[in-house]
Copies of this chain bind each other. A is one copy, B any other.
């Protein structure tokens, strides 16, 4: 029996919670996974999974096998890949997860540059604003915004994503003068869900002093492109991640307003699971993306 294949199927089944999902992952048919697990059970003379029609759960023995063999498999994979990479040939899969806005604007370029250096790395880049489940989705690296309290997760702080208040020149021309933050109430505002507190408060800072403004925005969106596009069209004034609008600012399509005020910056982290071995492709990409992102205008240290 191919123990490696059987264990891999078993481990993925537990992680995804379903043989069908594991089969998709492993590019096998569902019966194949079913058989592999069955073989493993015969071999250990023990029921490893509790089949429940709907889902499968590991038995006590299954949990122990998972704990023991999961890391061992990862070690083997990591060692093998590290030996291949020693030949100067970094390869293997690289599964990434990233918030949509960052992914669309910067990460895709970073991935392209990385793949140019390492053409044998097969990237799967998932963009979602939901926080990912690294285990279930089998992710190598996830970029995450905001403060994380997730235990059992290694996180490297990349920097702070700054936001600024911007508007198009046309809008500024047209609308009431924006002399002070209190006048924001009289403006059409456009924001991301994330920057507004549930009660609709935007937190700003002027120097050390923090200022809260209650907004009633004309547009709230979770999509950065939509947001920036609306700002460009002159639909209003709003907060935007600096990294999303630096080009627009440089070319005059957008103008920073109330430049004395700072919008609360969001930390950006690179996260991954503490596997025994960091596969070379993963390690290499982590370094690569970290350096690239820290150079981005709109991501600052602090």
- A69 B76 Cβ-Cβ under 8 A: yes
Within 8 Å of chain B (Cβ to Cβ): is A75?
yes
Q: Quick check: which of A23-31, A80-88, A93-101, A218-226 contacts chain B, the rest being far away?
A: A80-88
Instruction: Note all chain B residues with C-beta closer than 8 A to A75.
Output: 68-69, 71-72
In angstroms, Cα B44 to Cα A82, docked, is 9
Is chain A's interface secondary structure helix, strand, loop, or mixed overall? Answer: helix
- A83 B46 Cβ-Cβ under 8 A: yes
Chain multiplicity (copies): 2
Within 8 Å of chain B (Cβ to Cβ): is A65?
yes
A64-B79, A68-B75 are known contacts; what are 12 more A-B pairs with Cβ within 8 Å?
A: A2-B4, A4-B4, A7-B76, A43-B80, A44-B80, A46-B83, A64-B86, A65-B80, A68-B79, A68-B82, A69-B76, A69-B79
4 tightest A-B CB contacts, nearest first: A68-B79, A3-B4, A72-B72, A72-B75
Q: What are 7 contact pairs spanning A and B, CB under 8 A? A: A2-B2, A2-B5, A43-B80, A44-B80, A46-B87, A64-B83, A73-B76
Chain A contact residues, CB within 8 Å of chain B: 2-5, 7, 43-46, 61, 64-65, 68-69, 71-73, 75-76, 78-80, 82-84, 86-87, 89, 277
